[in-house]
Structures are given as C-alpha cells and as structure tokens.
Structure 1
Amino acid sequence: MKTSILAVAALLVCSAVQADTIAQTCSKHSPAHTVALLELYTSEGCDSCPPADTFVSGLRGSGMTSEQVVPLSMHVDYWDYIGWKDLFAKAAFTERQRWLSNNAGSRTIYTPELFIGGHELRGGVGGWRGAVPAAVKRINDRPARADISIALGRPAAGNLPVEVSAITTQDAQSGKLFVAVVENGLRSVVKAGENRGVTLKHDYVVRQWLGPIALADRKASLVTNVPLPSGATAGNLGVVAFLQSNQGEILQALMQPLCGG
C-alpha cells in the first residue's frame, strides 16, 4: 500500500514539473505566406535619422501585425566618430548593411537606409509611407519558401532560453538563419554630436545578433541561452528569426514576444 502511494505521489510530482515547464514556454510557427522583414539602418549620431526611427516605431500603431511585417532597427557604428557614441551600435550591423548594398550593386551605405525583403527601398520617410505598405502586401502575397519555429523559456539569471528551427522548401535549398533579440521603448538623451540635446526614442532595436547559421539539408537550428539587455522589461523584448538565401532574398521571418510579454 505504501509503495502504491509513493508511486502515485511521484507521478503527480513528475506531472506537475512537466506542466510547469510547458507553462513557462511560449512558441510560435511561421504562417503559410511570406512575412516581410524590414531593416532600418540608423544611428543616434545622424540628425536625419530620428524621423526614420519614428516611422519604424509607428508601424506598431499602423494596423500592421507581426504576421505581415517584422521590423528590425540596426544601429551602425560609422557615425560614432563625430562626437556621440551610439550605445546600440554594432560593427556587425555595419557589415550587414554593406553586404546588402553590395548585393544590390551599390558601393554606398548611408543612414537612414531601409531594406525590405532584402531589397533597398528609397524615397526617405516621405516615400516610405506609401511604399512600405505596398511592398509588405507584395511580399505577403507570396507563399512562404521556408518554415520557422521559435520557442522561448522563462528568463533566468539574465539569460533567455531560445530554440529556433527552420526548414526551406525544396526549391530554396541554400541560405542562412539569423536570430535577434529586439527591444522596444528605448530612450537616449544625446549629449553630443548632431543630435545634441535631443531625447531619442527607439523601438525594435536589435540588442543581440546571432548568426549566420548555414543550412544543411535545407535545415538550420539554434538552441542556446541568450544574455538579455541589463534592466530590460520582458514586455519590451522579443525574438526574431529569419532565413535569407545566399542571393539576399528573405525566405521567411518570424517574431515572438517573450513569455508573458
């Protein structure tokens, strides 16, 4: 009798642990259509960038959802020399911007510069207001050429458990997987440079950048613990994953907010 009671108790404990693990995981799978990836290359040291930052922030209230467009704000480091060091800038973003520009046949990089679906969209903020929704619709009308899944655990000790898996369709066999942690609601009081005295607001800022991870047999995956930005609020954070062909085309993109965020 005692043995049976212990066995039942052990089973209940095991079930409770399993349920707790499930409860602390949130996941998302990409849709059947292609989600548009929007990349803004910007800098706090650039006085023409704040309107572009505001435009990207406004996507949240424009009626567009993450099933339609996934924005990334990539802060570059090549304006740091003019008096203000952008705390969100990374050399890796400058390198990616240069690669995208070279891929488009251009030798010039500048800020603000916007790419959607891996292709540059010119016209500045005035032109983007009409061009971005049209580009997003064109991309959404295409069947997805890849499937992506994101699963996130609960943050612990400043780290976020992340699992990402991706597979391309039969006609899209070459490419790479990228994963990013993005943060909304950021503010900076700029004390030098072209934006001196201005308080800048940013959303979708890339804080962690992982990749490229090459496809093998049309598949790529990532299982890791990602350090989270110090002092960040879970509700302002999300994880983005996207697959890009070796020719620069975005095959699929996906965004998942943190659990409970």
Structure 2
Amino acid sequence: MAFAKPSRLAALALALSACAGTALAGELEKPQADKPLGVVELFTSQGCSSCPPADEFFAELAGKQDIVALAYHVNYWDYLGWQDTLSSKENTDRQYDYMRAFGSRSVYTPQAVINGRSHVNGASRKEVDGTLVRLDRTGEGMRVGVTVSHTSDRVMIDAGDAGNGPSDAHVVIVYFEPPQTIKIGQGENSGRRLTYWNAVSDIQIAGMWHGKAQRYELPMTEISKKAGCAVLLQSVGKDGMPGPILGAAFIRKPDRL
C-alpha cells in the first residue's frame, strides 16, 4: 500500500473527567492485574490490501491477557472505493500525531505502534513480538502499575508511583467495539469477509498524572454503555504529541451489567 500524504493534525480528544480518590461508596471489587507486557496500537483500514494479514495477527494479540491491543481504523484510504465502516477522523489524527512524534514523513498501513515508543509493520509477527520483548527487557515496557477496580456506580483507576522515572502523563481512556465481521463490498478487498477486533470508537482524556500514586474515578454509566475500554498512562511531549506509554490496563465491566 502506498504512503498517504500528511494532513493537518488535530488536538487530542476532549477531557472526560478525573478526581482524586476519596472514600468509596459500595462494595469494592477485586482489582485487575496491573502490568501487561505492552501495548500494541494497530493502524489499519478495510480498504488496504496489505492489512488483512495484520488484522488476522492482531486478532491473536487481542486474545492475549498480557497485551493491551487496540485497532485504529483510519479513513485516508476511503478514496480507493470502500469507506471503512469502523474508521474515524480521530483515529487518523492519532496516527498523524505519532508520525510527528517519530519524526516520520508519512503514515502507512498496517502500522503497529508499540508502547508509544516504536513502530513496525503490523503484519510482521517477528517485528511486533520482537519489539515487545526488547522494550520490556530494556525497561521501556509498562513501568507504572495501573489497577482498575469498581463499585456499583463508579470505576476507579489507580496509577502507581513512578519512583525516579517520568513525572507527567495523560490518563487516556480508549473505547473500542466488540468483534465484528464485515463484508467488503468494493475497493482492494472487495468480496472478502473480514473480522475486526477491538476497533477504537472514541478516545478521551480522564486527567493528568504527575508521577505519584493517584486515583481517578469514572461513572459506571459511562463505562457500561461502551462495548469495551482500556486505560493508557501516556506521556506527552512539549509539542503535545503522544509519547511513551508507561502503564496500561483494560477496564472490564462487572458481569452483572
């Protein structure tokens, strides 16, 4: 797939809400495990002939408990004849923001961004797996614990202490869709039926983290109306571009909802 020309970048998504932890109301559920191996953000498109192998590999990553896997469908290949049903301008903007952060001259699909630090061909199992292991071994994996718990009416996100590490990051909430099988009607993948996992539908900022342990609260009503979501503790450069992801976790809804 040819490279797309850079376009005007957009700012990060609007803030959701955040607050320091106080006394909890209701029974507290047991927290989730807080340090996955890493975060894989796949930039893909239903209209990209090079993407199906990456989407199939990504489905495996999405099934692993120790990886936070998120798929951002972009819209710049829609002109080829098929409008990606899961794409959004916000997803495309995030990829262009990474392009600037990495000092690249263009964006491409399939692109896998690992831990917000490195990018590789999203269809290459060797490159994705190798980068996850390398970053973990060099201390560039998930350095800050992020624990998620909940009561009947709220979700608590506890970000740990960085010690002597980085001191500022955004608490980013990423919402995604359930698995969907799409029949492609036109374009480069015309006639194919492809299944997409963890397709991102919205990105919001819940607050700022300043290197010390802190709690952020979200209303359960906001979480329960979404198919799935994850929290990323992501540093931000002085120019506002996304930086390394320091911690991450899935926000899982209670079974009773």
TM-score normalised by structure 2 residue count = 0.73
Deviations 1:137-186 (A, max 9, x none): 233343743221223567xxxxx954323244132111111112333421
Provide the residue aligned with 1:251 in structure 2: 246
Question: In structure 2, what is the Cα distance between the partners aligned to 1:87 and 1:123?
Answer: 23
Q: Does 1:117 align with 2:115?
A: yes
The Cα shift of 1:196 comes to 1.9
Q: Does 1:134 align with 2:133?
A: no
Question: In structure 2, what is the Cα distance between the partners aligned to 1:196 and 1:107?
Answer: 30
Question: In structure 1, what is the Cα distance between the partners aligned to 2:87 and 2:151?
Answer: 27
The CA RMSD measured in Å over matched residues stands at 2.8
Q: 1:36 aligns with which of 24, 30, 38?
A: 38
The Cα shift of 1:29 comes to 4.3
Which structure is larger by alpha-carbon Rg, 1 or 2? Answer: 1
Contact 1:245–1:251 at 8 Å: present in 2 too?
yes
Provide the residue aligned with 2:3 in structure 1: none
Q: Does 1:95 align with 2:88?
A: no
Question: In structure 1, what is the Cα distance between the partners aligned to 2:206 and 2:188?
Answer: 33
Aligned partner of residue 204 in structure 1, secondary structure: coil
Provide the residue aligned with 1:166 in structure 2: 159
Q: Does 1:241 align with 2:231?
A: yes
**Structure 1: which 5+ runs fail to align?**
1-20, 155-159, 230-236
Q: Summarize the Cα distance change of 1:145–1:59 in structure 2 as closer, same or farther, 3 Å threshold.
A: closer
Q: Summarize the Cα distance change of 1:117–1:83 in structure 2 as closer, same or farther, 3 Å threshold.
A: same
Contact 2:161–2:211 at 8 Å: present in 1 too?
no
Q: How does 1:52-67 map to 2 (within 5 A)?
A: 52-60=54-62, 65-67=64-66
Deviations 1:68-87 (A, max 9, x none): x2111111122223332222
Q: 1:48 aligns with which of 26, 46, 50?
A: 50
Q: Does 1:188 align with 2:172?
A: no
Higher deviation after alignment, 220-229 or 113-122 = 220-229
Deviations 1:92-126 (A, max 9, x none): 1111111111111102011111110113333452x
Q: Does 1:73 align with 2:68?
A: no
Q: Summarize the Cα distance change of 1:123–1:73 in structure 2 as closer, same or farther, 3 Å threshold.
A: closer
Question: In structure 1, what is the Cα distance between the partners aligned to 2:128 and 2:116?
Answer: 13
Q: Does 1:201 align with 2:195?
A: yes
Q: Summarize the Cα distance change of 1:227–1:22 in structure 2 as closer, same or farther, 3 Å threshold.
A: closer
TM-score normalised by structure 1 residue count = 0.72
Contact 1:35–1:253 at 8 Å: present in 2 too?
no
Contact 1:145–1:251 at 8 Å: present in 2 too?
yes
The Cα shift of 1:222 comes to 4.2
The Cα shift of 1:212 comes to 6.3
Structure 1: 4+ residue segments shifted above 6 A: none
Provide the residue aligned with 1:7 in structure 2: none
**Structure 2: which 5+ runs fail to align?**
1-25, 238-242
Aligned pairs, how many? 220
Question: In structure 2, what is the Cα distance between the partners aligned to 1:214 and 1:117?
Answer: 18
